Amino acid sequence: MPKITLCFKDVKIREYPIAERQPLTIGRRHSNDIVIDNPAVSGNHARIEPVATTFILKDLDSTNGTFVNEEKIAIHILRHNDVILIGNHKLIFDCSDHLKASSKVRDDYDVGKTRVLNVKSYHDLNKKSADSLPSEVHHGHDSEGQKANNLSFFSRLLRKILG
């Protein structure tokens, strides 16, 4: 199970498991899953949300910001060993168990070998996927304006998913 390790001045304070279907909140208020009692931390500072097989860190418009690997973020897809800085506290994202499980699945297959798909099923699935996209998403070679429209659509979709 993925976990967050909370540290202050390089001293480990506590580990928090991250449930794969439940968001994890971080902030100064006692209603948060990870409470950091420090005036540099906002009441509701950040949230980690499971999305499919990944975890997304979202800053909740905090006063002092949220940083990952020394870069300020608004939204960030977490990777193993990412270092999150909130106030003066470091939170280390550890998904080593998650990685071991997924590599075991990959070990059962020859990763370097391309598989042959059932062409008819693949074509039907591709057509179904294309038909289900909104009309504002253009198919084929995109002009710069069409790329901007597609990016705008997916940005709105991501905001809707993440709240």
C-alpha span between 59 and 73 (Å, rounded) = 7
Contacts of 54 (CB under 8 A, 6+ apart): 77, 78
pLDDT for 137: 47
Q: Nearest 5°: phi and psi at 97?
A: -65, -40
Instruction: Please check whether residue 22 is in contact with residue 67, taking contact to mean a CB–CB distance below 8 angstroms.
Output: no
Main-chain dihedrals φ then ψ at residue 76, nearest 5 degrees: -150, 135
Q: How far is CA 74 from CA 68, 97, 109, 112, in A?
A: 10, 27, 37, 36
Q: What is the pLDDT of residue 116?
A: 54
pLDDT of residue 96: 85
The CB density around residue 83, as the number of other CB atoms within 10 Å, is 14
Report pLDDT for 20. 80
CB-based contacts of 25: which residues, under 8 Å, 6+ apart? 31, 32, 33, 34, 44, 46, 47
pLDDT at 154: 64
The tens-digit pLDDT sequence of the chain (163 residues) is 899 999 999 899 999 999 888 999 999 999 999 999 999 999 999 999 998 888 999 999 999 999 999 999 999 999 999 999 999 999 999 998 765 555 444 444 444 555 555 556 555 666 655 555 555 444 455 556 555 555 666 666 666 666 5
Give residues with Cβ within 8 angstroms of 53, minimum separation 6.
Answer: 102
